């Protein structure tokens, strides 16, 4: 598997290579897609929340951009539309997942507040049950 630093360099190289339609087609034929997906999903990491150091997040962004370039360079219009729809859905899922992990990490940092805010994610300003007789 790739080391973290290698992922950063590899993502830069793959993004630069994906700058023209001809090189995108060559990348597709040479099997670069699994490597991009590995970088994008950090598949050598443990299951659970992405730790997302800045370098890893930047590498994922570059891998996503390279994958986007490759998908949008598909010469077959019918196949291109299918791939674009799949890519869009996967981007939405990844964005939602990252948002959820960020929210969970924020909740775990704020976990010392007590049970009033723990389940809802809402901060009621410490009023916790103040209106109950």
The 10s digit of each residue's pLDDT in 41-86 is 875 554 444 555 677 888 889 999 999 999 999 999 999 999 999 9
Q: How far apart are CA 26 and CA 20, in angstroms?
A: 10
Query: What are the residue ranges of helices labelled H in the chain?
Result: 4-17, 21-30, 32-41, 54-72, 77-109, 115-118
Give the pLDDT band (50/70/90) at residue 133.
Answer: very low
Q: Which span out of 2-6, 74-78, 107-111 was modeled with the highest average pLDDT?
A: 74-78
Radius of gyration in angstroms for the set of CA atoms belonging to the chain, rounded to a whole number: 20
Q: How long, in residues, is the chain?
A: 133
Average pLDDT, the chain: 79
């Amino acid at each position: 598997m790739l080391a973290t630093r290698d992922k950063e360099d590899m993502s830069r190289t793959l993004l630069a290579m994906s700058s023209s339609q001809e090189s995108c087609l060559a990348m597709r034929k040479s099997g670069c897609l699994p490597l991009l997906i590995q970088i994008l999903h950090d598949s050598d990491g443990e299951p659970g929340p992405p730790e997302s150091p800045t370098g890893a997040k930047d590498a994922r962004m570059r891998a996503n951009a390279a994958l986007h370039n490759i998908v949008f360079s598909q010469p077959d219009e019918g196949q291109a539309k299918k791939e674009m729809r799949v890519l869009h859905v996967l981007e939405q899922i990844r964005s939602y997942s990252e948002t959820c992990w960020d929210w969970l990490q924020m909740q775990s940092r704020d976990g010392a507040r007590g049970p009033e805010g723990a389940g809802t994610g809402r901060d009621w300003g410490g009023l916790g049950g103040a209106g109950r007789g």
